[in-house]
Structure 1
Amino acid sequence: MTFSVSARCARTGMFGIAVSSSSPCVAARCAHARAGVGVVATQNITDPMLGPKGLDLMASGLSADAVMERFREEAPHFDYRQVVVLDREGHVAFHSGARTLGTHAVAVGRDVAAAGNLLASTAVPEAMVAAFEAEPEAPLGERILAAMAAAVAAGGEEGPVHSAGMLLVDKVGWPVADLRVDWTEGDPIAELAGLWTLWQPQMDAYVTRALDPSTAPSYGVPGDK
């Protein structure tokens, strides 16, 4: 039901994750990231609790591999889960349980991992990683969205997807981007890319408004003087 890409920008230290699914509101359940810590993607028969738990464990100093080992030891019903953990060093650990649905696969590259289930083919995650790695100097959001577009071009899911989301974290205690298409009969990944085109030029200004409003640019809306 789901494919995702979890990634780190080695140049800036930003982390991000994007995910798409046939089910509604996929990013609310599956996408988890924390600035300076890492990323957790929890999908298939999803346990959203694994996201915050994995991030807390990484914040305490555990590596991606150590977090995954803890999950294998402690997480209930772990054979139903597909999970990717990416830590602050860009190291990746992944798990696709015995009850992962349909055709499923995981591919890992430098500072990136892509995973999916109920896929059109096992080549989909490989295409996602290749697209992410193709433009190493591009902003992380663009690289992640390129990976999602590559998933669609490679066949994506067996059936249509209806929701998508992208979460980016960088230096502050809240997401600098939390973009979601919770349901559409159209193309959720294209709609997500449209939200990114709208949000990216304003993203840094909203961080400045939170940290130091006196230096922030004007809002540019009627009544703002």
Structure 2
Amino acid sequence: MTYSIVARDAKTGEFGIAVASRFFAVGAIVPHMAGGIGAIATQAFISPLYGTDGLQMLKAGKSAEEVLEAVIGRDEGRHARQLHLIDAQGRSAAFTGEKCIDWAGHLIEENVSVAGNMLAGPGVIAETMESYLKNADLPLVERLLTAMEAGEKAGGDKRGKQSAALRIVRTEAFPWLDIRTDDHADPLAELRRLHDVARERFLHVAETLPTTENVSGMLDRSVIDRRIAELEAERLASGRPSASFATPPVPAP
């Protein structure tokens, strides 16, 4: 009922997961990840423990393959589940239970894996993977969105469309970007819009957040504030509307 891509940017070390499904709020249960640790997507007849426990195993130093063997090895329900993940070294592992509903399967490459079940056919994950690999020049978030759109063009979830999500982590346990559309007729297009909204302000503010290396974060926000103001001025000058649905700001009294 879902297809997803799990990736690690070899240049930056960022991890990303993108997922789409004809199922409500897929982003609430499929992706599990932490910066510098790894990323896990658990789907089909889902076990959230594959994600939560698997992430703890990655933190303890287990490889992607060791995590996969551990979580499916103890689970009598594994035959109807699907899992794919990447560890901090970019090693991928994947499992598709034989009772997952056709079409179901996965593909693995270095630093990236794609998996899906209840799909229109094998072309969904093949096109998703091909798009990701051929767009290596794009930032990770753009590569993931473009790859998912290629999978949708190949048929996507054979039942239709409802929800989608995209999450990126950098060095921290918390995400750098975490956007979801839980109930929408065109969820990937809505993810595109949300990313456009994030680019207007949110992602610039994200650069100021505290990290484990700098627990105070960016104390002088003037550079970021100027950049946001410049982008806003460029947008207004070009006549482009904001991508956001937010109400206009209320002037200070």
TM-score (normalised: structure 2): 0.83
Aligned pairs (5 A) from 1:1-225: 1-184=1-184, 186-201=185-200, 202-210=202-210, 211-216=216-221, 217-218=224-225, 222=250
The whole-number CA distance in structure 1 between the counterparts of 2:177 and 2:250 is 25
| 8 Å CA contact retained: 2:7, 2:15 | yes
- Deviation, 1:213, is 4.8
Q: Deviations over 1:36-58 (max 9, x none)?
A: 01111000011112111111111
The whole-number CA distance in structure 1 between the counterparts of 2:125 and 2:89 is 21
- Give unmatched runs, 5+ long, in structure 2: 211-215, 230-248
Deviates more, 1:49-58 or 1:199-208: 199-208
- 2:208 match: secondary structure: helix
The whole-number CA distance in structure 2 between the counterparts of 1:31 and 1:183 is 17
- 2:20 match: secondary structure: strand
- Deviation, 1:207, is 3.7
Deviates more, 1:99-108 or 1:145-154: 99-108
TM-score (normalised: structure 1): 0.93
- Deviation, 1:74, is 1.7
Give the aligned residue type for 1:75.
D
The whole-number CA distance in structure 2 between the counterparts of 1:215 and 1:172 is 21
- Deviation, 1:150, is 0.5
Q: CA RMSD in A?
A: 1.9
Give the aligned residue type for 2:219.
S
Q: Give the greater-gyration-radius structure (CA).
A: 2
- Deviation, 1:198, is 1.6
- Deviation, 1:72, is 2.5
Q: Deviations over 1:53-104 (max 9, x none)?
A: 1111111111101111111222341112100011111111111112111211
Deviates more, 1:30-39 or 1:212-221: 212-221
Deviates more, 1:14-23 or 1:190-199: 190-199
- 1:49 match: secondary structure: helix
- Deviation, 1:115, is 0.6
Q: Deviations over 1:134-175 (max 9, x none)?
A: 121211000000110000111112121100001110012311
Q: Deviations over 1:103-124 (max 9, x none)?
A: 1121122311111111111121
- Give unmatched runs, 5+ long, in structure 1: none
| 8 Å CA contact retained: 1:32, 1:167 | no
- Deviation, 1:212, is 2.5
| 8 Å CA contact retained: 1:209, 1:215 | no
